[in-house]
Amino acid sequence: MSKGPSPGVGYGQPDQPASPADPIALARQKLKKALPRRFYKEARAEAREGVFVLLLDGRPARTPIGKPLAFPSLAAAEAIAAEWAAQAEWIDPASMPMTRIANSAIDGVAGNLAATVDEIAKYSRSDLVCYRAEGPRRLAEAQAAAWDLILAFARKKIGADFICTEDLMFVDQPHSAGAAVTDAVKRYGSAGAAAPFAVASLHVMTTLTGSVLIALGVALGDLSPQAAWRAAHVDEDFEIAAWGEDAEARARRENQWREFAAAARLFNAVSRDEDGA
């Protein structure tokens, strides 16, 4: 982040203190105290020294540990700038999922690429789409309709042939399948300046769905983010249809979807040409 308020300055204080009898107002005050006030007027992307940086009022923004918030593509930098431009009086990280992933990529993943690649690839040992329900029949059919296409994609595009089971017990997958997935993920880990962002985005998509095959389906363009998200929630949607959905679960899923969609967008922005090719 570029130079902003000093610590303790700009963390808004309401004009009037809330009454002790107004817990909602008190909660809002506490929330505002935890968020920094917007300290810039303009957020934009600009090419500088071979990369694309986020500028706040013309000054380069930085990550939480002080590294330049710089990207290998204009599309990525513009998407991040849009998140910053959309902030109102308070800067709310919860509304900036791409920025959070980018910070993670720069501050964490960039120095741990091999370990992060391995962590993603490990999901191939117990991938969501390989574990099927014996029943009810409608659930088994819904899983097959969503997941068989993903397994077919893995065979065709990655060269990975997986075993499915209707037993909850762990099933050993062929070594060749795991190796093929590892190779596929490693390719993104050796993608030059885009690697930290691509791998961080893959990690988010994989952990949110429990499936590296779904994440790779998005990465390789065989699944739209929306189709991928539906595939990851076949079981949950079946339960909702049968028993209904509570508000807390719905809110949690909506938040996770925003994170997943942001990861997919950042991945595409750094991994593909700006025209989408």
For residue 17, give Cα distances in angstroms to 12, 29, 88, 171, 265.
12, 8, 22, 59, 41
How do residues 209-240 score in pLDDT, each as one tens digit?
Answer: 999 999 999 999 999 999 999 999 999 999 99
- Cβ within 8 Å of residue 77, ≥6 positions away: 45, 46, 52, 53, 54, 70, 71
| Gap between the Cα atoms of 58 and 29, Å rounded | 31
pLDDT value of residue 169: 82
**Rounded to an integer, what distance in angstroms lies between the CA atom of residue 168 and that of residue 190?**
36
> DSSP character for 173?
P
> Stretch 124-143: mean pLDDT, rounded?
95
Least confident of 2-6, 70-74, 140-144, 164-168: 2-6
Please enumerate in sequence order all residues whose Cβ is within 8 A of that of 47, keeping only pairs 6 or more positions apart, or say none: 53, 74
Residues ≥6 apart with Cβ < 8 Å to 78: 45, 52
- pLDDT of 275 strictly over 70: no
What local confidence, expressed as pLDDT, does residue 8 receive?
28
In the structure, what pLDDT confidence band is assigned to residue 272 with cuts at 50, 70 and 90? Answer: low
Per-residue pLDDT, 168: 76
- In percent, how much of the chain has pLDDT > 70? 86
24 has pLDDT over 70: no
Q: Could you tell me the two tokens for 269?
A: 């922005």
Instruction: Report the chain's mean pLDDT, rounded to a whole number.
Output: 88
| Domain edges within the chain | 1-92, 110-271
What pLDDT does 20 receive?
A: 45
Rounded distance, CA 10 to CA 254, Å? 30
Q: What's the pLDDT score for residue 167?
A: 73
The superfamily in CATH containing domain 110-271 is ATP12 ATPase (1.10.3580.10)
Structure tokens at 154: 């893995």
Correct CATH for 1-92 of 3.30.2180.10, 3.40.50.450, 3.40.50.1580, 3.30.1340.30: 3.30.2180.10
